[in-house]
Amino acid sequence: MSTALARAALTAHRPAFVGTAVAALFAAVVVSASTMVLAATGTHEIPAADRRRITANGVGDIAAVLLIGSVYMSIFVVVSTLGTAVAQQNRELALARAIGARPRQVRRAVAVQALAASVPAALIGFAAGGALARFWFGGMVAHGLVPAGVPFRFSWLALPVCLAVAGVTSTVAGLLASLRFSLLRPARALDEAAAGRRSLGPLRAPLGVLAVGGATLLSALLARQPAEDANAGAFLVLILFCVGVGLLGPRLVGPAAWLVSTLIGRIGPTARLAMLNVRSQPRRFSAAVVPLVLVVGFGVTKIAQHTTAEHVTGSAGSTGEVWLDYMGTALYAGFAAIASANTLAMISLERRRDVALLRVVGSQRRQIRAMAFWEALVVAGTALLLGSLIALATLAPILDSAFGSPLPYVPWPLGVAVVLATVALTAMSTGVPVRRGMRGPAITVVRE
């Protein structure tokens, strides 16, 4: 039954698994590139003096951190994207439970779906990772982290590593995404499939409050420490805030969206409709907002650290370390952006029938496209608000200890670029599926 469930889901919800495949592809590219850089810089064929220089610059450690980080982020992103895909088949899974499917069969079916989407993506990612590894290696040479005489070598070792990571992460992600729903009683599963989940759960809310409270307390303590200690502890503050926002997402997105939408809602009836859509479905939209919050929070923190240091002291630090920091930030932001874009796209595709109903009652295509844009603007504004607050709370102790002021300096072109990139990501992820959903006669979609 597990294989049949997986095959049926892949056939009936094919678009939902595109995001899972893209997330797995991105992860495989990073895993492949990190493995190849490790292999190229760790070979015994490199002269001893060059090996000592590579070790002193921490190139191997950096590649290992990127490899471990990409595995962690791939689990996070695949769980997020797969969770959206599983939510779209809750009714089918609930019916399967009602006719006798066991919890382990449901979990196995979802894990098979994840493997079917991830393993082919891992093969493509292995090949693309070679190009990224060559780019990384060239950048390290250009910034003096790797001696110019050390050649780059393509490594086939990355292939089994990519396949192993894809297999493990997709299986773990599938089990995590399906665990709770598979354990529900069939009647409760059918009710939740029809009405949606209403609560956060007994552990999620307390753990979220604990994470946010711990991050706030740690930030206040670090403000009294020397600059080096504050800088070392700031990453933990950032992680705790991000975990807390992830756990409390539906509870935070509602008020934040209300604050953003009170301004947007005054623009016109289409904007007000979009505002009500986001505020009335905080759980659904929080799945897209939370990854964006991670992008904004993590990105602004890393960028502001260097721009503030350069503004105050005239130097952002070693060019090689700054380059590596931005590279790592771009990769982690890419993971989170994929999760958010996929979730927004799935939300839009899931509402295909609602869009058709709006057309049947007389709404014009341009009005529906405008509604989708305003929804994207509310989502982007909410993410920018929460992400900026996280970044400010994380940076305050570092900057206060180092420069005597907790306020960061971010050049306005960079700030505008962050805002425009966030809005563009949400607008495209929402607008493209909505346009696709308006193809064909609306009455045909309503009757489906």
HSE at residue 417, side-chain half, CA atoms within 13 A, is: 8
Give tens-digit pLDDT for 193-218.
Answer: 555 555 666 777 888 889 888 888 88
Residue 238: closest CA among 288, 285, 295: 295
Domain finish residue from 182, 197, 212: 197
Task: Say if residue 205 is in the same domain as residue 180.
Answer: no
Same domain, 394 and 329: yes
Of 197, 224, 244, the residue at which a domain comes to its end is 197
Q: What is the residue-averaged pLDDT of the chain? A: 78
Are 173 and 222 in the same domain?
A: no
* Residue 11 belongs to domain spanning: 1-197
Read off the tokens for 229: 């200690």
**pLDDT given for residue 126 in this prediction:** 92
Structure tokens at 66: 């990127």
Q: Are residues 218 and 304 in the same domain?
A: yes
Task: Looking at the structure, tell me whether residues 225 and 362 fall in a common domain.
Answer: yes
d(CA 223, CA 226): 8
- Reported as a single tens digit per residue, the pLDDT across 43-81 is 777 888 888 888 887 777 777 777 777 777 777 777 777
What angle, 0 to 180 degrees and rounded to 10, lies between the N-to-C axes of helices 103-142 and 158-183? 140
10 and 152: one domain?
yes
Question: In the listed set 154, 169, 197, which residue is the last one of a domain according to the structure?
Answer: 197
Token representation of residue 193: 């499939």
Q: Tell me the average pLDDT across 79-88.
A: 71
And the tokens for 37?
């850089």
Closest CA to 32 of 143, 147, 128, 118: 128
- What's the pLDDT at 416? 92
Assess whether 244 and 191 both reside in one domain: no
Residue 333 pLDDT = 80
What does the alpha-carbon distance between residue 53 and residue 69 come to, in Å, rounded to a whole number?
24
Of the two residues 11 and 149, the one the predictor is more confident about is: 149
User: Which single residue is written with the structure tokens 């090996």?
Assistant: 51
Q: Who contacts 359 (Cβ-Cβ below 8 Å, separation ≥6)?
A: 365, 368, 438, 442
Whether the Cβ atoms of residue 328 and residue 317 lie closer than 8 Å to each other: no
Q: Confidence band (pLDDT; 50, 70, 90) for 5? A: low
Domain match, 251 and 181 both: no
Residue 286 has pLDDT above 60, yes or no: yes
Are both 280 and 426 inside the same structural domain?
A: yes
Are 268 and 339 members of one domain?
yes
Q: In Å, how far are 364, 371, 419, 434 from 361, measured between CA atoms?
A: 9, 15, 35, 17
Q: What is the pTM of this model?
A: 0.80
Given a cut of 70, whether residue 11 has pLDDT beyond it is no
391-to-141, 235, 306, 421 alpha-carbon distances in Å? 32, 11, 13, 17
Query: Are 219 and 306 members of one domain?
Result: yes
> Does residue 7 register a pLDDT over 60?
no
Q: How many domains does the chain have?
A: 2
Q: Which tens digits make up the pLDDT trace of 341-381?
A: 877 777 777 777 777 777 777 777 787 788 888 888 888 88
The total of other beta-carbon atoms located within 10 Å of residue 399's CB is 26
Q: Map 276-314 to HEC letters.
A: HHHHHCHHHHHHHHHHHHHHHHHHHHHHHHHHHHHHHHC
**Do 183 and 245 belong to one domain?**
no
